[in-house]
Amino acid sequence: MRTFGTNEFLFIVYALQWTLTLTAIAFVGGGILGAALALLRISTSRTLRTLTSAYMQFIQGLPLLILMFICYYAPSLFGFELSAITAAAIALTINSAAFLGAIWESALRAIPKAQWESAEALAMHPLKVLRFVIVPQAVRLAMPSTVGFLVQIIKQTSIASIIGFIEITRAGQLVSNATFEPLKSFLAVAALYFIVCFPLTQISLWLEHRAAKRGSRA
């Protein structure tokens, strides 16, 4: 009978590249969309603010698994199919955008209104105010939560295993089925998640403490 050994472990390690690839796609794509959502949430248009808020609340309230099923199975209704990685990337990007948008909106709103007003008094264009005054400060405020959410995205990629995408959780499941040694298989998976996520968690905590110190000095 096949047992858990070096080849099986390396198979799981090899699948880590797909976990990281999916994470990168979701984080970058979700970051771009999230930034747009955050800016729309602080726009002067009440209609845009309302529509954006409704979209973000809907996505945040929708289980990621259901969203992934929709992205994977819905295209077949229109006569075409998406690969597992494409469907997973779309679902994770949409989900990440809603949460990152909320994080960055909070950071933008945390900037004192006096700074907006001072910049406007100097006749600065609103886009320049955002670029040179508001956004640099908001980025510093949002960094701890953003890095923390990146850890969540890494963990959420495991849901893609449900639609057949072979990332480390799915790889662990395949090894478990082949060797009948689920404990060893999923301990290896857990170890890889820890190796990737723990440093990021520590960075998030460090950034949070650093921001708190700056706030106390101010």
CATH of the domain at 108: 1.10.3720.10
- Rounded Cα–Cα distance for residues 205 and 144 (Å): 7
CA nearest neighbour of 110 among 153, 143, 149, 150: 143
The token duo for 112 is 């004192």
pLDDT, residue 20, reads 98
pLDDT, residue 111, reads 87
Kindly give, in sequence order, each residue whose CB lies less than 8 Å from that of residue 179, ignoring residues fewer than 6 positions away.
Answer: 1, 2, 3, 4, 8, 185
Confirm whether 184 is domain-assigned: yes
Domain coverage including residue 28: 6-211
Confirm whether 13 is domain-assigned: yes
3-state secondary structure of 43: coil
Confirm whether 218 is domain-assigned: no
Residue tagged 């979700």 (tokens): 30
- Rounded Cα–Cα distance for residues 26 and 94 (Å): 8
Confirm whether 216 is domain-assigned: no
- The tens place of each residue's pLDDT in the chain, 218 residues long, gives 789 999 999 999 999 999 999 999 999 999 999 999 999 999 989 999 999 999 999 999 999 999 999 999 999 999 999 999 999 999 999 999 999 999 999 999 998 887 777 777 777 777 788 888 888 889 999 999 999 999 999 999 999 999 999 999 999 999 999 999 999 999 999 999 999 999 999 999 999 998 887 766 65
Q: How many C-beta atoms surround the C-beta of residue 11 within 10 A?
A: 18
Count of domains observed in the chain: 1
Q: How many C-beta atoms surround the C-beta of residue 161 within 10 A?
A: 20
Confirm whether 217 is domain-assigned: no
162: exposed, middle or buried (C-beta count within 10 Å: 0-12, 13-18, 19+)? Answer: middle
